[in-house]
Amino acid sequence: MGLDMDTDGLSDEAEMYILHTNPSSNNTDGDGLTDGNEFFIYFTDPHIPDTDSDGLLDGEDAYRHDPDADDDGLLDGREVKMAIRIDENSYGYTDPFDNDTDAEGLLDGEEVLEYGTNPLLNDTDGDGLSDYVELDIGLNPLDFDNDGDGKPDRFEVEAGGDVLADPLNPDANRNGVLDGLEQDYDKDGLPDYNETYIYGTDCMVEDTDKDGLDDGKEVEYWWRRGVDPRSDSDGDGIPNILDWDSDNDGMLDGDEVARGEDPMGITCSFTHAGEKYDVIFYVNASISDITYDDENRIISFNVTGPANTTASCTIRVPKDMWPAGDFRVYCNGVPVEINVTEDEEAYYIHFEVELSTKNIIVELADETPPIIGVPIITPLQPVADSDVEVSVDVSDVGVGIDEVLLYYRVAGGAWVSTEMSLIGGMWKATIPGQGLE
């Protein structure tokens, strides 16, 4: 063999005058195969990077002369490179060597090019019937409820002789009422239509979110609370009616309701002035690092959620814990506008904060001065060298009283302070006896 400058197995003379490939490059078409291998082994065209025009370079193509290796109607390159959505968070690819990737009876090419179904899901519309079965019995595999009566196609197909079960007739008994409004298949208290189209629950399962509350009872509970069951109390992206733990505290909603607790809020027990109190947090975002500083009357916690979203926050504080009902709220140290409502037992502090992660401080404001009663001085007329006892009633309905100081002076002299003690409900102190000058 003559000179082979690019060591591709072909002589330079053959490349220049016979094959017309580049004698200075061992891979003229840049497809990942040397010119010699294309000519002697794979019998592909060294001038064309994709000999079979399937969308794959010859160097990455296992079937270099067959553009559709599995004969499913899709080019191999399309199968390997076309990402197909499986759900909100994931994508996948069809198998170029399997003509029915989801194994439901339809070729991948038929699904993509003819029916518009998902070749990675055997039940594209999620009604419980495979795409193949729906097409076979004349249903649209892209519509989980072909007749729009609120009863998924699978239920109507499998119900057999049920007079209300016809997947192509929304009023099978012809009484002028949608079949889904007449039937409650799972006996949870909600008509099938309401479950399917209003609340998004499963009309064939009595407790869709497995939280211990039947769907009907759960809907009733939330509406009785004045809360739309479709709202998302903890901001996790799952509506309460489909969320087994609506406040993200790790407990089933049904268990909390059974114990008389609140499944919409996170309850924390704080010790204040020696007594335990339950403070409840209603926040449609994740909260963490909840602490209480009894000495300074401060509740602190972090709120976390997606950036550029707003967290709606309500904190329930028992009146017995903070009677004054005078509060301040700070977000990352900046004052936040609040609205305070109340019932017989508690105050509700309402406010909103922009996310992503923020530190929230709630403190009891002390803007009301303490109430100081009339001091009792014994004896009223001091006697030389005899102590003087002073008693006084001091109270503060807001934050309570931690310390009382008594200031006194003798014969116009300098002021002296002494700490008073709480004895029998009165603050008391003793002024030492003073000699005569």
Residues 290-339 have pLDDT tens digits of 999 988 889 999 998 888 888 888 899 999 998 877 899 999 999 999 99
Over its C-alpha atoms, the chain yields an Rg (Å, rounded) of 39
Q: pLDDT per residue over 344-356, tens digit each?
A: 888 999 999 998 8
- Residue 272 belongs to some domain of the structure: yes
Q: Are residues 312 and 345 in the same domain?
A: yes
Measured CA to CA, the distance from residue 41 to residue 358 in angstroms comes to 65
- The mean pLDDT of 363-387, rounded to a whole number, is 83
Q: Is residue 309 part of a domain?
A: yes
Select from 371, 368, 375 the least CA-distant residue to 325.
Answer: 368
Question: What contacts 206, CB < 8 A, 6 or more positions away?
Answer: 186, 187, 188, 214, 215
The structural domain count of the chain equals: 2
Q: What is the mean pLDDT of residues 371-387?
A: 88
**Token duo for residue 402:** 């931690």
Quick one: 276 and 357 in the same domain?
yes
pLDDT attached to residue 399: 57
Q: Out of 329, 364, 399, pick the residue that ends a domain.
A: 364
Cα(349)–Cα(340) distance, integer angstroms: 5
Residues 6+ apart with CB under 8 A from 17: none
355 shares its domain with 272: yes
The residue from 332, 364, 396 where one domain ends is: 364
Element spanning 304, H or E: strand 298-304
Are 386 and 412 contained in the same domain?
yes
- pLDDT of 164 above 70: no
Whether 306 and 396 share a structural domain: no
Range among 50-59, 93-102, 171-180, 301-310 rated most confident: 93-102
pLDDT at res. 308 = 86
56 — pLDDT class (breaks 50, 70, 90): confident
Confidence of residue 1 (pLDDT cuts 50, 70, 90): low
Q: Which of 13-22, 117-126, 362-371 has the lowest mean pLDDT?
A: 362-371
User: Is the distance from CB of 9 to CB of 3 less than 8 angstroms?
Assistant: no
| 30-49 per-position pLDDT tens digit | 989 998 888 888 898 999 99
Same-domain status, 269 and 359 = yes
Q: In this structure, what token pair is assigned to residue 298?
A: 């401060």
337 and 291 in a common domain: yes
Q: Is the pLDDT of residue 93 over 80?
A: yes
The whole domain housing 426 covers 371-431
Whether residue 436 has pLDDT greater than 80: no
Looking at the predicted structure, is the pLDDT value of residue 368 above 80?
no
pLDDT at residue 161 in the model: 59
Q: Inform me whether the pLDDT recorded for 160 exceeds 80.
A: no
312 inside domain: yes
Q: Show which of 313, 345, 364 is a domain's final residue.
A: 364
**Pair (286, 356) in one structural domain:** yes
Task: Tell me what pLDDT residue 249 has.
Answer: 82
Does residue 398 carry a pLDDT above 60? no
